[in-house]
Each structure stands twice: as C-alpha cells, then as structure tokens.
Structure 1
Amino acid sequence: MSELVQIRKMVLTVEEIRHEGGPAPERPILRAACLAVLKNPYAGRYVADITPLMEALKPLGLEMSQRLIAALGGDVAKIESYGKGSIIGTAGELEHGACWHVPGGYAMRELLGSAKAIVPSATKVGSAGARLDVALGHKDAAYVRSHFDAMEVGIHDAPRADEIVYCLVMTTGGRIHARVGGLQVSEIKGEDGLR
C-alpha cells in the first residue's frame, strides 16, 4: 500500500440475526462490517488536492471487501445489500471522508459483480469511540424498501484526532421481518440501479 495509507488496526464484526420478536426465518440474516483505522495524512492542515489519498485507498477497499465476502460465507450470490462510511478525527475535515466514495464503493461493486445500485454512505467528524449509522441499501435496486436499513459501527479508541475510520458493510438480506410493501427482490430488473 501507499505511504499515504498507514493502518493502525482493522476490525471485523459479524451479526447473525435470527428474529426480531417475530417468527424465525428459514435462514438467519448476516450483517458484517469491516473498519480500518488509518493515520489521516491531511490532519491539521488544509490541502487543496486530496485525490492522491483516494487513489491510494483502492487496494484497501478491495481488501476490506474481500474480508466481508469471506465473513459472510464466501458466496457473492448471497450478498444482498451494502453501505459505506467514515468517521474523521477532529483534526481532519469532512471532505477527507469523501476520499472513500470511489475506493470503498467501487471495490464492493466490482467484487459483487452484478451490483448496480449506488452504495449508500454516511460520514462525520468525531472523537475516539464515536458511533456511525452506516446506511444500507439493496445492491441492485435502490428502491427495494425491505433493504432500507443501517448498521451502527464504531471502535472504542478510534478515531484519534489525526486518524480516519473507513468502513464497509455487507449483508445477506434485508430487515428480517420486512412487511411494508414496495419493490420486492423478486421484481428487480437491475437495469439502472433504481428498479
């Protein structure tokens, strides 16, 4: 990896959701988040061109996506939704989180193959222990209401003021007891990423 990408730690979390008070489904829904804590190369100063970081993060996006796929069983056909996010330490700025859009989003879409929908995103500036609700959406069609969800992520000691936490999330299904209608997974055409 580039000298711009100095990783202090990585965290992988997997949730297995069996029910939410209703009947247990045929199979549990799995949600996984992979987080990387990096030194922010632009912390404490304004830098006009921050795109070198965006380019340097591409291998990390692929590595984190591969870890998520493996954590969810290794079969990309079973992964249905995704999202991404970042928490920038207080010596950084919100725009440093935007450097994750391309390397995080495109890495997941590339490895998942058919993914057509935009990757939902959330970013904020925060202190160590800050939590982030990473928005989730169906990977092929943004209007699949059953997959509108979020996964809360965070790390107890990150980000420090001069760090960034970048996150990717994937799931094997939508909300476990979704029943409010809308476009169904079986109705996805996958032509434009919307329907």
Structure 2
Amino acid sequence: MPEIKLRKMVTSCEEIYHEGGPVEEVPLCRAAALAVIANPFAGRYEPEIQGFMEDLKPLGLDMAQRLLDLLGGPDRIEGYGKGAIIGAAGELEHGALWHAPGGYAMRELLGEARAIVPSTKKVGGVGARLDVPITHVNASYVRSHFDSMEVGCNDAPRADEMALALVMTTGPRIHSRSGGLEAWEIKGEDGLR
C-alpha cells in the first residue's frame, strides 16, 4: 500500500466557560486534530483499499497522543469522535478507511474506553467543514456528552487529499440538563449504558 504523505497537521482547542448561564470554574475543553494527507486512490476507482487502514494506524496514534497531550492526559478525557473529509477526486468510501485506525488509536491510548467512537464523513471541496459527533468514551447513551465539534482547514482538502479528524473532550456540555443517563450512572457492561 502507499505510504502516508502528510501535508499538514492542524490542532485546535476550545475552552468553554458558559453558554449563557453561570460561568464554570473549570471549562469544558474540546480539542481536534486534523491531518491533511494525499489520497492515494484519488481520481480512480480502486477495488482493494482495505490495506490502507493498516498504513493509517501510526497516524491515528500520533493524532490521539497529540490530543491527550493538549488536554492533560487520558484521565481527563470523557468524550470522543472522528471524521473525514474527502477531496472531490475521491469517494466517500475512502473516508470509511479512517474508522478503524482513528477509533482504535483513541481507544488504545485511553485504555478503558468501551463505547464505539462516533463518526461522520463526506466528500467536500477546499475549505469544507465537518461537524464531528462526540459521545461519552464508556457509554454511548450518556446524553450530557452528546456533542459535536466543527473541524476544517481553509486550504484543504484539495481534490486529491483527505482530511482526517479526531476529537476529544474533557466533560459534558456546559450547562447540560437534558436528563437521561448520567455519567455517574454508567454500568460499563456494553459500551452503551
């Protein structure tokens, strides 16, 4: 399979103190890592693409580690998500190649994460943005952690590129009060509850 050709890495962190309600002493932090790489399948239909997932694993681990470093380590992480924007010469299925390398990288470095990593993907032009879904790392039904973070880059993805994203958060939405399963009620049996 082709080697990864990284053009650019973008990291960002939001610190959210309030959403119109009381100011929190400790902000919610949402961080994203976005890797802009060459799409080795751009411009043609390639029937065998699964091998590229193995090539993406080191990139996933690097990006996940960057997020952990930015947010203060695995013990601080409560939410995560992943996504991909594929340039116009690619196809949506190329974004699906990020599911395993991106998701497993975060779960491996977090250690005890049980919930499936939510994901989204699309084909888009230069400057396209993507809302990456976020759920709790151990129980997908924890409503307070249903969130998203917008990612993108002003000059990516070019037609022959893909922009691969990982997102992590340090807690629930600020002022969460929508009910449902709470983080302290997680049983940890199945990644759902």
Q: TM-score band, normalised by the shorter chain? A: over 0.9
Q: CA deviation at 1:134?
A: 0.2
In 2, the alpha carbon distance for the partners of 1:37 and 1:123 equals 14
Conserved 8 A contact 2:11-2:34: yes
In 2, the alpha carbon distance for the partners of 1:3 and 1:192 equals 36
Who is 1:123 aligned against?
A: 121
Who is 2:6 aligned against?
A: 7
Give a deviation string over 1:11-56, Cα, whole Å, max 9, x none.
0000000111111223111100000000000000011110121110
Q: CA deviation at 1:3?
A: 4.2
Residue 10 of structure 1: SS of its match in structure 2? Answer: strand
One-letter amino acid of the counterpart of residue 35, structure 1: L
Q: CA deviation at 1:76?
A: 0.8
Give 5+ residue unaligned stretches, structure 1. none
Who is 1:133 aligned against?
A: 131
Conserved 8 A contact 2:7-2:38: yes
Give a deviation string over 1:68-120, Cα, whole Å, max 9, x none.
000001x2111000000000000000000000000000000010011000100
Who is 1:143 aligned against?
A: 141
- Out of 86, 94, 97, the residue aligned to residue 95 of structure 2 is 97
In 1, the alpha carbon distance for the partners of 2:132 and 2:176 equals 19
In 1, the alpha carbon distance for the partners of 2:155 and 2:172 equals 30
In 1, the alpha carbon distance for the partners of 2:175 and 2:164 equals 29
Mapping of 1:38-187 within 5 angstroms? Answer: 38-73=37-72, 75-187=73-185
In 1, the alpha carbon distance for the partners of 2:169 and 2:78 equals 6
Give structure 1 regions of 4+ aligned residues with deviation exceeding 2 angstroms: none
In 2, the alpha carbon distance for the partners of 1:187 and 1:174 equals 14
In 2, the alpha carbon distance for the partners of 1:33 and 1:99 equals 19
Residue 148 of structure 2: SS of its match in structure 1? Answer: strand
In 1, the alpha carbon distance for the partners of 2:70 and 2:76 equals 12
In 1, the alpha carbon distance for the partners of 2:132 and 2:9 equals 17
Give 5+ residue unaligned stretches, structure 2. none
Identity of aligned residues (%): 66
